[in-house]
Amino acid sequence: MSTGQSRKRLTKLMLLLGAVRWYNVALLALAQYIIAFFVFGEHRTMIQLLLDRKLHLIVLSSSFAVAGAFIINVFYDADKDLVNRSKFAILYRLMGQEFLLNTYAIFTILCILLALIASFKVFIFMAGLVFLFWLYSHKLQKIALIREVSASLLAISPLLAVWLHFAQMHYGFLLYLGSLLVLAFNREVVKDLQGNTGNIIFGYKTVVVSAGSEFSKKWLFTVNLLVVLLWLFGNLNFNTNIGFYSIISLFALCMSLFVSLFVRFSSNSNIYPMADALLKAAIVIHVLSPVVVLWM
């Protein structure tokens, strides 16, 4: 193999890692293990969990599903990204559509095969998830509000595969998942504000395109305020003995409220990358938070 071909393949590999957002895939895998060990694994030893073959298959299958979702999203968003993320879009175009689609097909097959080895129940879940990821990229992301809600739900849906494996009710996990959903939803709206120009040009009917930037910012702040008030009402009126999960969910909701307030009273569009970065940091902290249970 010539040096030129080797460099070309290495470049494609580096671009592919960027396209699948390997850091998001790695964070998802870490989140699944954290949930398995620190949320559902309280009656199991660490050795039992480490030897849990089915859990590892679920994590691998989910990773390929999410990596494939990012690839198909790059494929469908190629034109829009030329406006919103021009440098990245040009780099991704160097990979070529055929390479992207072939990689997507390989990742999807690996996801389905690993899920089938795990169990038929996991196979059905993962097959449905792969279809929904494609449906979002192909159709749902062009429908206002459906776009933001479906993207948020799909972002946290792989974590449900772990719950499916352990098949036990855990109210703390539901609270953890719900507050993570709020963070994800806020990030989707902030991304819509940030990429509004490309969305308008290529006909993506986001909340921001449909309702306008100013109304969307007011609406987002109102929604977050109502969610925090509902949380306070629920915690004051119901004795749910899940104190730690209440604390981390309150952190997530307050962070979402703070960012929405930050965005609401800013007229400078340069504030959106900072708001996005704050929400990213909050999501990472929230994902890692169950580890604290070990020292409590």
pLDDT value of position 293: 57
Domain count, the chain: 2
Whole-angstrom distance, CA of residue 163 vs CA of residue 62:
13
- Burial letters 264-283, b for 16+ CB under 10 A, else e: beeeeeebbeebbebbeebb
Question: Do residues 104 and 42 touch, judged by C-beta distance below 8 A?
Answer: no
Alpha carbon separation from 67 to 11, 12, 13, 18 (Å, rounded): 18, 15, 13, 10
User: Two tokens at 202?
Assistant: 């290529």
Q: pLDDT, tens digit, for every residue of 36-49?
A: 888 887 667 778 87
Report the distance separating Cα 165 and Cα 155, nearest Å: 19
In terms of domains, do 127 and 38 share one?
yes
Number of neighbouring beta carbons within 10 Å of residue 140: 18
Q: Which helix (H) or strand (E) holds 83?
A: helix 78-84
Question: Based on the domain organization, do 179 and 280 belong to the same domain?
Answer: yes
Give the pLDDT mean for 118-126: 93
Instruction: Tell me: do 92 and 218 sit in the same domain.
Output: no
Q: Which residue has the higher pLDDT, 47 or 128?
A: 128
Pick from 243, 256, 232, 244: which is nearest to 289 by CA? 244
CATH code: domain of residue 136: 1.10.357
Domain range for 47 is 1-168
> Which of 136, 168, 200 is at the close of a domain?
168
Average pLDDT (237-257) is 77
Q: What is the pLDDT of residue 88?
A: 63
Are residues 174 and 156 part of one domain?
no
Interatomic CA distance for residues 32 and 186, integer angstroms = 22
> How is residue 182 written in tokens?
């709020």
Whether residue 127 sits in one domain with residue 8: yes
**Contacts of residue 263, Cβ cutoff 8 Å, sequence gap at least 6:** 190, 193, 217, 220, 221, 271, 272, 275
Give the pLDDT mean for 64-79.
84
Is the Cα dihedral 208, 211, 214, 215 positive or negative? negative
Q: Higher model confidence: residue 237 or residue 47?
A: 47
Do 122 and 268 have their domain in common?
Answer: no
Query: pLDDT tens, 145-181?
Result: 898 999 999 999 999 999 888 877 777 788 889 999 9
Using pLDDT thresholds of 50, 70 and 90, give the confidence band for residue 74.
confident
Looking at the fold, whether 173 and 198 belong to one and the same domain comes out as yes
Decide if pLDDT at 97 tops 80. Answer: no
From 168, 191, 220, the end of a domain falls on 168
pLDDT at residue 66 greater than cutoff 90 = yes
Q: Where is 187: in which H helix or E strand?
A: helix 171-194
Claim to verify: residue 147 and residue 281 sit in the same structural domain? no
Same domain, 155 and 181: no
Is residue 161 located within the same domain as residue 194? no
pLDDT band at 20 (very low <50, low <70, confident <90, very high): confident
Claim to verify: residue 131 and residue 17 sit in the same structural domain: yes
Mean pLDDT of the chain: 84
Looking at 105, 137, 168, the residue that finishes a domain is 168
**Same domain, yes or no: 115 and 186:** no
